[in-house]
Amino acid sequence: MKVNIIYIRHGFSCANSVQYLGGFFQQLHRLVMLDPELTHYAKQQITKHRDQLKQSLHVDIVCSSTMIRAIQTAAYLFPKRKISILPYIKEKGRTAGNIPAPWKEQMKKLTKTQRELLNPEWSQHQGRAVTDHQSFMTWLAQHLPDLLQHHHVSKHRKEVTIAIVMHSRYMQKSLTKGILPKNVQGFLFQYDWQLGHPKLEHERMVGVVVDGFETPDKETFRKAKGDRNCPTHV
């Protein structure tokens, strides 16, 4: 089976708004901002442009890291689609912003419809708060039959496409050869996999298939009240 994986960076988060648009004291607050969610600005931006972003992409399976900003991005980018939460791919770093909040707290930041579409089977996996690309690739190869079954995709297909929403530094260091992805930018990788085989093999980076967004300027962001849902405002 040929496995296409589109690795997508999450949208503009509350921590990003402070990082790029905030002042000195707001920067300090970012260090203790636990598992920050998407900004209101990002939610509106993704909802408005998601058809344009995805263009003619056909995605069979939608997945996300354990961080709320990635889960929300997947939910807004692929509405009405089931989303599986995967271990080992949270953002790199040990600050509060890169530690997933308890599952019950995360659920409070999703709509009822979004919560109902989540597959929480691996949400409490031991790799929930771990970043390890090699462990993730091994885990994915072992659990791909389960993912296919949950998303009602035949294991006898010749090709499957998986979208995984994750994080910029993880992608930059482990996947995109130093390229820091933009908000909601997606890179297509291809692999070969055989049922029962413990590895995804012959990794090939094809290129950008989801264009994504640049960081908004401060005036545009403020005018839109883009951080109305964030604990710290810029």
Q: Which CATH architecture has domain 2-18+37-223?
A: 3-Layer(aba) Sandwich (3.40)
The CA–CA distances, whole Å, from 1 to 71, 145, 148, 190 equal 27, 12, 12, 11
Distant-in-sequence, close-in-space partners of 67: CB < 8 Å, separation ≥ 6: 10, 35, 90, 91, 98, 100, 167
| pLDDT score recorded for residue 219 | 95
Residue 82, Cβ neighbours under 10 Å: how many?
15
DSSP H or E run through 166: strand 159-166
> How confident is the model at residue 196, as a pLDDT?
82
pLDDT at residue 154, as a whole number: 96
Alpha-carbon radius of gyration of the chain:
17
Q: Report the residue count for the chain.
A: 234
Q: pLDDT tens digits, residue range 89-129?
A: 999 998 999 999 999 999 999 999 999 999 988 988 999 99
pLDDT attached to residue 29? 81
Per-residue tens of pLDDT for the chain, all 234 residues:
999 999 999 999 999 999 999 988 888 888 889 999 999 999 999 999 999 888 878 999 999 999 999 999 999 999 999 999 999 999 999 899 999 999 999 999 999 999 999 998 898 899 999 999 999 999 999 999 999 999 999 999 999 999 999 999 999 999 999 999 999 999 999 999 998 888 999 999 999 999 999 999 999 999 999 999 998 888
Give the pLDDT confidence score for residue 98 in this predicted structure: 96
Map out the domains of the chain as residue ranges.
2-18+37-223
pLDDT at position 138 is: 96
Residue 151 per-residue DSSP state: T
The tokens of 47 are what?
């909802």
Amino acid at 7: Y
Instruction: Encode 85-150 in three state secondary structure.
Output: ECCCECCCCCCHHHCCCCHHHHHCCCCHHHHHCEECCCCCCCCCCCECHHHHHHHHHHHHHHHHHH
Residue 59, class by beta-carbon neighbours within 10 Å (0-12 exposed, 13-18 middle, 19+ buried)? middle
pLDDT at residue 141, rounded to an integer: 96
Count of C-beta atoms within a 10 Å radius of residue 142 = 13
- pTM here is 0.96
